[in-house]
Amino acid sequence: MPQIETDATTEAQDQTTFMTPGAREWDEVIRFWFPDSLEEDVETHGRHWAWRMRGEADKEIVARFRDLTERAATGVLDHWASDPQGRLALIVILDQFSRSVWSGSPRAFAQDPRALALALEGLGNGHFEALSAPWERSAYQLVLGHCEGPGHLARLDRAHALAQEILALAPDHLRPIYVFGVEQKVLHRRVIETFGRYPHRNAILGRTSTPEEEAYVAEGQFPHRRPVPKWHGPDSGPSTSG
């Protein structure tokens, strides 16, 4: 369909209008989600990780990336997947930004299958291995755990294996953070093994909860809301306080 291809190409070209010379379309996403400061001390790294994964970044994501997230959801940015960094940025948009932009609505989770497909393809075509930073590779294992549906337990097992590989790559002073990531995969798998889905999504998705799921939701002990430890340096290890 030539007209559709032309429109997509035009939009992609328009995207570059306000970029600095030499910049790529996806650079702003990468710089926002994976800033250079992540290479610093464990406290700075952990604080940024908690900021972006616990909803504190939602307002900025909506303000800066709402339109881009909408475009990614329509497939206009699919050409990004030809590059390892572009694929990574697209995964972040579909798996993470969508949860901020459409928080509280079914659209928050509607992009999970596409994000999963991008991650699985990237694991098979060398794009995952092309990412040198452990924090970039972590985006892949998050996707494997997020997407509900057939094969979820197997994907969580693979996510756990990836998390362990990523831990092995992490600099020594950042290892406590990636130990926490490995633990998260175990907790998520326990939920899916018990219920076959994430019960906390039921109300948003219009699903009827079982009595067991209602009890679980009432308890509110969700892995994704697990308190993030306070890291104070490589010698102190993670703290479970606060």
pLDDT digits (tens, 9 = 90+) for 180-209: 999 999 999 999 999 999 999 999 999 999
Domains along the chain? 2-10+25-239 (1.25.40.10)
Helices 42-53, 175-195: axis angle to 10 degrees equals 30
User: Average pLDDT for residues 76-105, to the nearest whole number?
Assistant: 97
- The pLDDT value recorded for residue 37 is 66
pLDDT tens figures, 120-139? 999 999 999 999 899 999 99
What predicted TM-score, i.e. pTM, was given to this entire model?
A: 0.84
pLDDT tens figures, 142-168? 999 999 999 999 999 999 999 999 999
User: Average pLDDT for residues 224-242, to the nearest whole number?
Assistant: 52
153 Ramachandran zone, left/alpha/beta (phi>0; psi -120 to 50): alpha
Q: How far separated are the first and last CA of the chain, in Å rounded?
A: 56
pLDDT of 237 higher than 50: no
